[in-house]
Homo-oligomer: A and B are copies of this chain.
Amino acid sequence: MTRAILLGSGNVAVHLARALGAAEGISLVQRYARGNSNAELFDPSVPLTSDLGALLEAEIYIIAIKDDQIPAFAENLASFHGLVVHTSGSVAMQQLGPVRRKGVLYPIQSFSARRALDFTGVPVAIEAEKPEDLALLKAFASTISDRVYELASAQRKMLHLAAVFANNFSNHMFAQAEKICAENDISFKLLGPLMEETVDKALDMGPKEAQTGPARRDDKAVVHRQMDLLEGDLKILYKTLSDSISSQFNQ
């Protein structure tokens, strides 16, 4: 049994705790959290502490706290002999500073505490300073996910940036679609199958191949006609996106 300790209480911590609780060969021996948030979403049989001085010895410590708090928090774990990993896409492994055995376990997903999600399908990017720790981390991550990949900090940072486009920015496009629907008394749900097919196509054919629409065809008449229907921020977005698509396809 690999003894693991989880530090955190946010969205990632909730899902990791659940996945680790169900994993073979892993014993979640303790959880650390400063406060009481999401308490009802964690298994009460896992001992909880808010006292860093009461942390047990374990083979793996998993830090699942806010990105910008990771470097300062890691100092509290400098004395431990176990492998210490954080779970952030954008924080370099070396930000774990004084920690003796450093690593990263980054689950590439957008977690919500209250949404069920099958962790075995979540791709996990791992990194460790020492080869033996990488092997340990790989075995550990493989108990919760079927998709474990090694990725250095520099690559992970760019993957995280790609995820901003794939998640934050695409969602913002959905939000604009919803806004247009709401303003015109149209149910946003009408776009559901189209949105699902957009993702399926992008993954099957690749998004460049899957691109369609007036900007793709460089159909300036339709682009201008549609732009005239919009104003303010929506118009700026429409123009910027259309220009970008046109320039990438019609040069």
CA distance A226 to B90 in the complex (A): 9
User: Are the C-beta atoms of B161 and A165 separated by less than 8 Å?
Assistant: no
What residues of B have a CB within 8 angstroms of the CB of A226 in the complex? 90, 161, 164
Interface digits, A72-112 against B, CB 8 Å rule (1 contact, 0 not)?
00000000000000000010000000000000000011101
Interface digits, A136-179 against B, CB 8 Å rule (1 contact, 0 not)?
00000000000101010011011101111111111111111110
Copies in the assembly, this chain: 2
Q: Which of A149, A154, A161 has the most CB of B within 10 A?
A: A161
A181 closest partner in B (C-beta)? B162
**Interface SS, A side:** helix
Q: Which residue of B112, B166, B247 is within 8 Å of A201 (Cβ)?
A: B112
User: Are the C-beta atoms of B158 and A229 separated by less than 8 Å?
Assistant: yes
A50 interface residue, CB < 8 Å from B? no
CA distance A210 to B183 in the complex (A): 19
If A168-B216, A229-B158 touch, whether A173 touches B175 (CB-CB below 8 Å) is no
Q: Which residue of B155, B184, B203 is within 8 Å of A159 (Cβ)?
A: B184
A192 interface residue, CB < 8 Å from B? yes
User: Are the C-beta atoms of A166 and B198 separated by less than 8 Å?
Assistant: yes
User: Are the C-beta atoms of B159 and A190 separated by less than 8 Å?
Assistant: yes
User: Are the C-beta atoms of B108 and A193 separated by less than 8 Å?
Assistant: yes
Stretch at the interface among A25-33, A39-47, A57-65, A120-128: A120-128
20 intermolecular pairs with C-beta atoms under 8 Å apart: A108-B190, A110-B212, A112-B201, A121-B193, A123-B190, A149-B190, A159-B191, A163-B191, A165-B237, A165-B238, A166-B191, A170-B195, A171-B207, A175-B202, A178-B207, A189-B203, A192-B203, A237-B240, A237-B241, A240-B240
